[in-house]
């Protein structure tokens, strides 16, 4: 709700009700811009991140928050006013359904429904992404946006101290990665919609 504009990169091979959900989202963000594209030979993460990078270059003010559809940032009010650095990281906890969790309820806040998870996932180390950056910077991401280049300096959480002073935010913002949050969708998502769609 804090966003002035939401840009959605929309894979035209999508066969669910994404466009319907986008229309519903306009009740809290009037400026939602949909950018349609189609992979030439199924899913290609390099093509996907190139679309991210090209879109980023068109945004001229404010901060850009880069997330996939299954990533949620728990953004504290006033954080960027207190930490005006050019780049900030989000620590994504990979959440799972705990035996005490209920079925998903679209009426309840995301944060309250899956509160168990782990920080390391698929050999990506701490899964901390450089994904909140001031607009109009010399910045581009690599696939998965786990790392990036900022002014030709390689940037990820493990190498942050090698970057120019004053580049990074003072701390990490917390987030949740929902790729494996519930059996009702994770197998279909990970196998049918991910593994079997790779170019």
Over the stretch 38-53, which tens digit does the pLDDT of each residue have? 999 999 999 999 999 9
Lowest mean pLDDT among 3-12, 125-134, 138-147: 125-134
Phi-psi region of 18 (alpha: psi -120 to 50; beta: other; left: phi over 0): alpha
| Residue 86 pLDDT greater than 60, yes or no | yes
Q: Rounded mean pLDDT of 160-181?
A: 78
Under the banding of pLDDT at 50, 70 and 90, the label for residue 13 is confident
The count of other CB atoms within 10 Å of the CB of residue 95 is: 23
- The whole-angstrom separation of Cα 150 and Cα 137 is 8
pLDDT more than 70, % of the chain: 91
pLDDT at 44 (0 to 100): 93
Q: How confident is the model at residue 153 (pLDDT cuts 50, 70, 90)?
A: confident
Q: Which helix (H) or strand (E) holds 112?
A: helix 110-113
Average pLDDT (58-86) is: 92
- What is the band of 197 on the pLDDT scale with cuts at 50, 70, 90? confident
Of 136, 143, 165, 163, whose CA–CA distance to 152 is shortest? 163
What integer pLDDT is reported at residue 152 of this predicted model? 86
Runs of H (alpha helix) within 28-109: 45-56, 79-82
Confidence at 126, pLDDT banded by 50, 70, 90: low
The percent of the chain in helix, strand and coil, each rounded to the nearest 5, is: 25, 30, 45
Q: Please give the pLDDT value at position 121.
A: 58
Counting DSSP H helices and E strands in the chain, the numbers are: 5, 11
Average pLDDT over residues 7-27: 89
Q: Which of 22-31, 102-111, 118-127 has the lowest mean pLDDT?
A: 118-127
Residues of the chain with pLDDT > 90, as a percent, come to 46
Q: Is the pLDDT of residue 1 over 80?
A: no
Q: Return the closest-CA partner of residue 89 out of 28, 35, 161.
A: 161
Token pair in block for residue 36: 């349609």
């Amino acid at each position: 709700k804090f966003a002035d504009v939401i840009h959605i990169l929309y894979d035209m091979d999508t066969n669910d009700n994404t466009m319907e959900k986008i229309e519903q989202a306009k009740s809290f963000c009037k400026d939602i811009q949909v950018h349609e594209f189609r992979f030439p030979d199924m899913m290609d993460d390099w093509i996907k991140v190139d679309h991210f990078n090209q879109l980023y270059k068109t945004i001229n003010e404010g901060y850009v928050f880069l997330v996939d559809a299954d990533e949620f940032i728990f953004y504290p009010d006033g954080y960027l006013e207190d930490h005006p650095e050019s780049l900030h990281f989000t620590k994504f906890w990979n959440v799972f359904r705990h035996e005490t969790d209920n079925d998903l309820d679209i009426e309840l806040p995301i944060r309250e429904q899956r509160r168990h998870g782990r920080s390391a996932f698929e050999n990506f180390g701490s899964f901390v992404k450089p994904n909140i950056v001031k607009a109009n910077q010399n910045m581009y991401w690599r696939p998965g946006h786990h790392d990036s280049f900022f002014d030709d300096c390689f940037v990820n959480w493990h190498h942050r101290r090698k970057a120019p002073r004053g580049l990074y935010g003072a701390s990490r913002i917390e987030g949740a990665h929902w790729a494996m949050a519930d059996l009702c969708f994770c197998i279909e998502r990970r196998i049918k919609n991910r593994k079997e769609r790779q170019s």
